[in-house]
Every structure is written in C-alpha cells, then in structure tokens.
C-alpha cells in the first residue's frame, strides 16, 4: 500500500510539474509575441501629453476620444513608411467609407508570424504581419478587415471594454491607462457567437457594397483554418491564434462560401475583383487594377 501511495505521489508531482512547464512555455510565447507592445504599456505616460494624462470617469468615456488615446499610445511603435502599414491603412480608408461611427480607422502592424487581427474601441485595428502572408489576395484581406470594422461599428469592442472596466470597479482613470487596459483586454478577448455572427454578416454586406468578389470572405476563413489545433499544419502561438478568438472557422467558411455562390447565381453578369497581385505587391485596387484579377459570374 505504501508503495502504491509513493508511486501515486510521484505521478501526481510529475503531472503538476508538466502543467507548470507547459504554462511557462505558453507564458514565454505570449510575452515574446507582444513584447514590444508590453514595453509600451510599461512606460510611464508622458506628463506633457495632456490627452493621455486626462482623468475620466468610465461612465462618461467617449469612444472617439478613447480611440485617439489608444493611437497616441501605440503610434510610436509604427514606422509610417512601412510598406505593409501604408498598404493596410490605404485599404481601411476605402472600407471605412461605409462607416457610421464618428471617427477614422487606423491599422497597426504587429510583428508576429501567426495570423491574427483584433479591434479596439475608437477605430483601432491590429493586424499581425503573419496575416498578410497567410492570406492570398486583397479580397480576402478586406474581408478580415471588414470583420474587425464590424466589431467596432456594432460596439462590441466598446461594450466589452466598458463592462470589464466596471467589473474591475475602475471608476476613474487616466486616458493613457485606459488605453493600456483596452489593449491588454482585447488581445485575450473572445466574442460570443451572436457578436461573431453580426461581424461576419457586416463584413459580407460591406464586401457586397465594394467591387471585391464576395468569395473572399469564405476564402479568408479557409486560409485561417490551417492554423486551428485540429489541422496539425502549424502550432500557432496561443495568444495570436485567430481561431481562438474567432471560433468555428469551418462552419463559417461553409456558410459564407454558400452565400457567395448564391449571390453569384443571381448576378451572373457582374464583374468583381480578387487582387492576388495587389496583395503581393502591396498596391491597393484603388491605385491599380490588374486585368487578370477580374472575375465574371460563375468563374469566381
């Protein structure tokens, strides 16, 4: 009996040790993934920056002002001449022509090989470098951006942040610290199914209002499916797995592929644009369209 107890204790200790090592591995990946951004979060707010040192009540927090504070906090992380940064912000300017919220949209690049994108209040969207190399065309990229715009336009981001602030019993705080809070929250935030459905539908409807092929929505899900745990293709880092915060990728791919097929069946004479060459060269469709990127009817 004592021997059995001894072996049970050894097994139990080993399990705990394996769990701690796994958790440490995940934590290391998480810290290395977002290290530059957490370095920004660790920096004190410059006292001369009145916008970030302004103290506000959470109840009276204005989303536009909040977004401006988030931009101020992270703008120093970006090279304004970076080709990907310029390209993404040209795309978001075109897509945000359909917005209803009273603020501009800005996209920031994260140096991460895994594909991900997430939105923050006030029109701020983060996109990993890996997303640009995972997707194959501009119409797929615009679908992802449109999805993130949907979360902002539907107030999913702002509602989520405000709820967490109130839950943490944060009554008043500086805008700078509130900006840090939003970033830390949204890197690990998961939306509920209703919110994801709303953002998906928003993205699909937005794409229909553009010149892009609506098949881009389903194709974007297809590319990102490869990073799911079941695929076995690649183990993406825990924090930056797009599928973790955007679940049921296969079901959503099927749904929006069918919706696109149905749309094409009723618009056989339409011409729509894909933009594989545009994404490859980081040249937006607005600046140049390539003849081979146009599709008609069922050829999409």
pLDDT of residue 30: 40
Per-residue model confidence as pLDDT tens digits over 43-97: 554 544 555 666 667 777 899 998 998 998 888 888 999 999 999 999 999 999 9
User: 157 vs 171, which has greater pLDDT?
Assistant: 157
How many other C-beta atoms can be found within 10 angstroms of the C-beta atom of residue 195? 18
Q: Are 242 and 189 in contact (CB under 8 A)?
A: no
The DSSP symbol for 114 reads S
Q: Is 217 helix (H, G, I), strand (E, B) or coil?
A: helix
Q: Are 202 and 154 in contact (CB under 8 A)?
A: yes
pLDDT of residue 258: 97
Percent with pLDDT over 70 in the chain: 73
Query: Is 77 exposed, middle or buried, given 0-12, 13-18 or 19+ CB atoms closer than 10 A?
Result: middle
Q: What is the CA radius of gyration of the chain?
A: 22
pLDDT of residue 34: 52
* Average of per-residue pLDDT values in the chain: 80
Instruction: Tell whether pTM > 0.85.
Output: no
pLDDT of residue 50: 54
User: 226 vs 104, which has greater pLDDT?
Assistant: 104
Q: Are 245 and 52 in contact (CB under 8 A)?
A: no
Per-residue model confidence as pLDDT tens digits over 239-256: 334 444 555 788 899 999
User: 263 vs 31, which has greater pLDDT?
Assistant: 263
The answer on pLDDT for 21 being more than 50 is: no
Q: Give the separation between CA 259 and CA 147, rounded to whole angstroms.
A: 16
Per-residue model confidence as pLDDT tens digits over 86-144: 999 999 999 999 999 999 999 999 999 889 999 999 999 999 999 999 999 999 999 99
């Amino acid at each position: 009996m004592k021997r059995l107890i001894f072996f049970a204790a050894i097994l139990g200790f080993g399990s705990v040790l394996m769990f701690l090592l796994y958790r440490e591995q995940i934590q290391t990946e998480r810290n290395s993934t977002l290290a530059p951004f957490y370095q920004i979060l660790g920096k004190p707010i410059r006292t001369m920056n009145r916008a970030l040192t302004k103290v506000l009540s959470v109840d009276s927090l204005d989303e536009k002002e909040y977004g401006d504070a988030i931009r101020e906090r992270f703008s120093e992380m970006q090279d304004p001449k970076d080709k990907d940064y310029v390209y993404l912000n040209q795309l978001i300017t075109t897509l945000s022509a359909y917005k209803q919220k009273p603020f501009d949209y800005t996209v920031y690049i994260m140096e991460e090989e895994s594909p991900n994108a997430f939105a923050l209040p006030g029109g701020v969207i983060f996109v990993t470098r890996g997303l640009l190399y995972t997707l194959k065309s501009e119409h797929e990229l615009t679908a992802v951006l449109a999805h993130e715009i949907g979360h902002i336009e539907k107030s999913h981001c702002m509602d989520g942040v405000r709820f967490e602030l109130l839950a943490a019993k944060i009554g008043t705080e500086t805008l700078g610290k509130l900006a840090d809070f939003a970033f830390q929250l949204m890197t690990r935030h998961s939306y509920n199914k209703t919110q994801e459905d709303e953002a998906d539908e928003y993205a699909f409807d937005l794409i229909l209002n553009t010149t892009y092929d609506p098949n881009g929505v389903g194709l974007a899900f297809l590319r990102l499916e490869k990073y799911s745990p079941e695929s076995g293709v690649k183990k993406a880092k825990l924090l930056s797995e797009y599928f973790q915060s955007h679940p049921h990728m296969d079901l959503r791919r099927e749904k929006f592929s069918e919706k696109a097929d149905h749309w094409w069946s009723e618009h056989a004479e339409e011409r729509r644009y894909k933009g594989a060459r545009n994404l490859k060269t980081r040249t937006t469709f607005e600046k140049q369209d390539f003849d081979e990127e146009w599709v008609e009817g069922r050829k999409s």
